[in-house]
Amino acid sequence: MRRGFRIRKALRRLGFYLFAVVPLVAVCSFPLYWSINTSLKTHNEIILWPPTWFPRKIYFENYISVFSAHHFERNLLNSAIVAGVTTAAALALGVLCAYALARLRFPGRMALMVLILMMSMFPRISILIPLFLMMRGLHWLNTYQGLIVPYISFSLPLAIWIMTSFFRGIPSELEEAALVDGATPLQAMVRVVLPLAAPGLVTAGLLVFIAAWNEFLFALNFTFDDTTRTVPVAIALFSRQFEIPWGELNAATVIVTVPLVLLVLIFQRRIIAGLTAGAVKG
């Protein structure tokens, strides 16, 4: 009887994966697959109808052309610098704000949390012109800081919200024990709380990094050449007057997307833990 129960349980699990998980994964991964498929084709094969599901002959020239015909290595470096500095600054400031919101009790704390959440929903296009004028007045157009500072301001609310929920799930008795042992409040936070909050930090850091890496609107309007231009804008400018190089566009898309996918897969457990922090009590 127990064996029959195990068989039925295994069949139910198999059916769930076959009819729910596999189709969902296929639908979500299809755009990435099609980009990889297109990037490995010649232009003549790309425009064929009906399209081919696999390249007839592997064609790596699109990847070579991305770097030889464009300054894409510079664009990658720009995106790495902007996204990396934005992530580091957002986490450094967000940790302090989130820790204060999670541990301190003061009037207006919930109103401040709601205000922080509202800031993350603010439409960027509505402040584009005032922000452009401000950057021009500061002589920050076509500079790294002209992108990093706005990115930090829009990334902080998300980082604070995620880390506040995680800090609330860490028992305050651990910090009290550290204070009794002679640690300062800052030492208790750094040596006791932050190691336990690693999933929240990883989640917030990855989301901030991906948002800064993929940001297009500010990068398009605040940068003018490849010295500071990031990859989303560079890819958008691949198109020529009478031709759209679909192979190069998809090759560049694969180059900038696959590392992000690998990061998410590597840290998926910590991301899930960070996103679900505070979802249940106990």
**What's the predicted TM-score (pTM) here?**
0.82
Q: Which tokens belong to 278? A: 């505070």
CA–CA separation, 7 vs 4, rounded Å? 5
**Distance (Å, whole) CA 275 – CA 185:** 26
Contact in structure between 214 and 79 (CB atoms under 8 Å): no
The rounded mean pLDDT for the chain is 82
Report which listed range, 41-50, 106-115, 140-149, is most confident.
140-149
Question: What pLDDT, in 10s, does the model give residues 37-90?
Answer: 888 888 888 888 888 888 888 888 888 888 888 888 999 999 999 999 999 999
Q: What is the dihedral of CA 113, 164, 166, 121, to 10 degrees?
A: 50
Residues 6+ apart with CB under 8 A from 86: 148, 151, 152, 155, 208, 209, 212
Q: Identity (one letter) of the amino acid at 217?
A: L
- List the structure tokens of 8: 């039925």
Structure tokens at 248: 């190069």
Residue-wise pLDDT for 188-225, tens only, equals 888 888 888 888 888 888 889 989 999 999 999 999 98
